[in-house]
Amino acid sequence: MPESPKMIGRVTRCSTRGFVGAMQISENALPVFGSLCQAEAQGGRSYVVGLVYDISITDDQFARQLAALDEVPQEQIADGQLNRQVPVEFSALAVGFHDDDGFHQSLPPQPPLTLASVFSMVPNDAVDFTSELHFLQMILNAPQLPVDELLATSLRLSAQARPEEERERFLLQAGREVARLLAQDLTRLENILRGLRAKE
């Protein structure tokens, strides 16, 4: 049975270049750095494809007080993780969108709206989306992001979404595309390729 997308949060602020979502803390539902997600846009007629590049959990005085104790009862840890309205945010870079014609690797025509549902992308869709690699340029162009780590992690996760026998071929193809894009910057290229190899 194909895996159904898991809702991971709702959009709290957005632009065509990306969006920020908030959610309840639950380790199972927590998105992963470098993973793909989708947010509803245009009244449900399209989905913006995002690449998660940051997950942040803001602290507060009460959490700090409890954290400083030698021992915190399990009930209070569970309360802090599941009940308290601690602001947990994830940020995603827009790397494409999906409409009636399928996936496109360019900025979406409209951003998702506030409180739009954000879903993790199921492996089949991730394979479909990453069958083209134009989105790598969008990652490399993103300012002030941990671009090299993001790119390497994203490609590794995309490889894992594929059947085992296809993974190496995908990574080789992606490595070649990265080499083409970073032909003028061999230091970064080496860094990314090392990242791709590290956890193969």
Partner 1 sequence: MGIHLPSLLPQMQEIGQALYERSLQVSAMIPKATNALHSTAELDHSELQSRIKKAGNRWPGAIPTEEALNLTFPPPTAPQSLHVIGADGSQIYPDRHAAAFYYLINIGSIVVSHGSGKAPTIEHESRLFFELEDLYDEADHPVQNAYVNLRRDVAEMKTLAERAETLAGEQTLAILDNSLLLWMALQTGGSISRETDRTLQQYLKLLDRLRSTKTGLAGFIDRPRSVSVLALIHLAGLPDDQINQETLRLTPFRGLTDRAIFTKLLPPGHRSALFISASPLNRDFRTAGHEVHFFYLNTDAKGTVVRVEIPSWVAQDPELLNRVHAGILKDCQTTGGFPYTLVRAHELAVIPPQERAAFEDMLQRTLLGHDLRPTQSQKALTKQLTGQRKQHRL
Residues that bind partner 1 (CB under 8 A): 62, 65-66, 69, 72-76, 78-79, 81-84
Shortest approach of partner 1 to residue 78 CB, angstroms? Answer: 4
- Based on CB atoms, which residue is closest to partner 1, 72 or 172? 72
- Based on CB atoms, which residue is closest to partner 1, 66 or 107? 66
Kindly compute the dihedral angle of the four CA atoms of residues 161, 162, 165, 166, in this order, to the nearest 10 degrees.
-130
Of 137, 139, 200, nearest to 171 (Cα)? 200
Shortest approach of partner 1 to residue 120 CB, angstroms? Answer: 23
- Based on CB atoms, which residue is closest to partner 1, 82 or 186? 82
Shortest approach of partner 1 to residue 130 CB, angstroms? Answer: 37
Using an 8 Å Cβ cutoff, are 19 and 112 in contact? Answer: yes
Length of the chain: 200
- Based on CB atoms, which residue is closest to partner 1, 63 or 127? 63
Unique residue bearing structure tokens 């927590």: 30
Shortest approach of partner 1 to residue 75 CB, angstroms? Answer: 5
Q: What is residue 71's DSSP assignment?
A: -
- The two three-digit tokens of residue 155, written as one number: 């490609």
